[in-house]
Chains A and B, each alone.
Chain A
C-alpha cells in the first residue's frame, strides 16, 4: 500500500522532495504539499484504493504523513 501512496504523492503531492525518500512519519505539508495539492492526493487515493473518505476524515492531520494516510485507509477498509 505504501508504494502506491508514494506514487500518488509523487504524481499529485507537488512535494519539494522525492516521495520515495520520505520517512513514514515525515510531515507532508512541511515537505511542500499545499492544501490544493492535498485535495488532488485525496482524490487519487480514493480512486486507487476504491474508498471514500468520510467528511470528518477530510482534515489536515489525516493527510499529514504516509503513516497517517495508511492508517486512515485501513480504518475505512475495515
Chain B
C-alpha cells in the first residue's frame, strides 16, 4: 500500500511547494503545519515501515540502518533542507524536527543518523553565503543524496567541540587534513564529511575552521570497535581520517560562528526531537501494556494506569521545551538583524539547558516506562520490551558529556545577570 501512496505524497509535496507564493529561504517557517507536511508524512512512512522492521536487527548486530537510509535517499529526504533556489525542498527546521520525531518513534539509530546528517546540511545552508563551490555542492546533494558525517571529536580533546589538535595545512590552492577522531557516527558509511580543524598548523586550538571533504578526497580507517550499550546502529567508532581537498572547501565563516549560530542550537533541537520520538515509543508500549491489563479485568483501572498518567506530562515537557526554543530559533534565523542574539551567552545557556534537561528526561521517561511494564518490559523478546529504548536513551547525556556542558553553563551563569 505504501508503494501506491508514496508517489501521491511526493506529487502533493511538489504541488504544495511550487504553488506556494513565497520562495522558501533557509529557516523560513513552513506554510504547511509541520505535522501535516508531506515531508513529515514521508518520514512517518519510512519510520513506521522500514525503520521499525529493522530496528531490532540493527540493534542486535550493531550495524548501520542501511535499509531505512536507503528509503530516506529514495524519497530524496537527505537534501530536504536544501533551499528551493538550489533545487531542494526548502524544508523548515520545524519539519526536520517532526521528521526526527517520526523516525525516533521506531528506530533511534535511524533518527539520529538523519538528525546528524541534517545538522551538517544546516551548517552548509546557513553559512554558504555566496560561495559558489558550497552552493554547487548543495545543489549536487539534491541529486546524489550523499550522507554527510561529522568529525568534531578528536583524540586529545575528547568532546570539546571548540578545540582541535589537527590543522588544515594549505599548499597553494590545496590543503591536507589528518585527524584521529574518537567517535564518528557512520564513519564507514558517510559519503562526505564536515571536519573541524585548526585554521593553520600555527593557530591556537580554539581557532578552528569547518572543512568539507567530498567522496574520493578522504579515507576513514576504523581504529577501534563499536560494540556499545545503545545507539548501536549509529556506527560511532573511532577513525583515522586522512584527507586532501581544495581550499574552496574550507568554509569562510569561522567555526566559532557556525558552532554558535547553527551547529550547537540545531544539534540540541534535533537531538531533543529524536528523544521525543524515543519517549513516545516507550509510552506506546506502556499504553498497550496497560490496555492489556485493563482488558483482563474490565471495569477497574489497572494500578499502573496512574503511573502512565504521570509519564504523560514528562513527555509533554520534553516536547514543548524543544518546540518553544525551535520557534524562537526559526524566527531569529529568518531575520539577519537578529543573528547576533544567537552568539550571546544567554542564548548559549538556554540551548545547553535544553540538552541537559532533555537528556535527563528521556532516561527518566524510559526508566519509568520499564517500571510500569515490569518483567514484560524487561524481557528483550516481549512486545513491551523497553531494553533498546532505555539503552539508546543513555547516549543522550554522553553526546557531548553533560558535565562538560554543566561546566560551561556554570562559567557563563557567573556573568549572566538574567536567568
Contacts and interface: CB of A to CB of B under 8 A. Distances in A.
Contact of B416 (A15, A35, A58): A58
Contacts of B256: 29, 60
Contacts of A15: 204
Interface in B196-252: 199, 203-207
Contact of B415 (A30, A32, A43): A43
Interface size classification for chain B: 20 to 34
A42 B206 contact: no
Contacts of A52: 417
B346 A55 contact: yes
A54 to B, nearest CB: 7
Given A30-B207, A34-B163, A36-B408, A58 B414 contact: no
B414 to A, nearest CB: 7
Interface string A45-71: 010000011111011110000000000
16 contacts: A30-B199, A30-B254, A32-B205, A32-B206, A34-B205, A35-B206, A39-B345, A39-B411, A39-B415, A55-B344, A55-B417, A55-B418, A59-B343, A60-B257, A60-B260, A60-B343
A36 B411 contact: yes
A58 B205 contact: no
Interface string B347-385: 010000000000000000000000000000000000000
B203 A59 contact: no
Interface of B: 162-163, 199, 203-207, 254, 256-257, 260, 340, 343-346, 348, 408, 411-412, 414-418
Most buried by B among A16, A43, A52: A16
A34 B206 contact: yes
A58 B346 contact: yes
Contacts of A53: 415
A18 B257 CA distance: 25
Nearest to A29: B256
A42 B340 contact: no
A34 to B, nearest CB: 5
A35 B259 CA distance: 12
Contacts of B199: 30
Nearest to A39: B411
Contacts of B417: 52, 54-55
Nearest to B259: A35
A9 interface: no
Contacts of B260: 60
Contacts of A39: 345, 411-412, 414-415
A55 B206 contact: no
Interface size classification for chain A: 20 to 34
3 closest A-B pairs by CB? A32-B204, A16-B204, A58-B345
A60 B162 CA distance: 14
Nearest to A36: B411
A36 B348 CA distance: 12
B418 to A, nearest CB: 5
Contacts of A61: 340, 343
Contacts of A29: 206-207, 254, 256
A52 B199 CA distance: 34
Nearest to A37: B206
B403 to A, nearest CB: 14
A62 to B, nearest CB: 9
A32 B200 CA distance: 13
A16 to B, nearest CB: 4
A31 B202 CA distance: 11
B162 A59 contact: no
A55 B346 CA distance: 7
A19 interface: no
A5 interface: no
Nearest to B163: A34
B205 A59 contact: no
Contacts of A35: 162, 206, 348, 408
A8 B106 CA distance: 53
Nearest to A56: B344
Given A55-B418, A58-B415, A59-B344, 14 more contacts: A30-B199, A30-B204, A36-B408, A39-B345, A54-B417, A55-B344, A55-B416, A56-B344, A58-B344, A58-B346, A60-B256, A60-B257, A60-B260, A60-B343
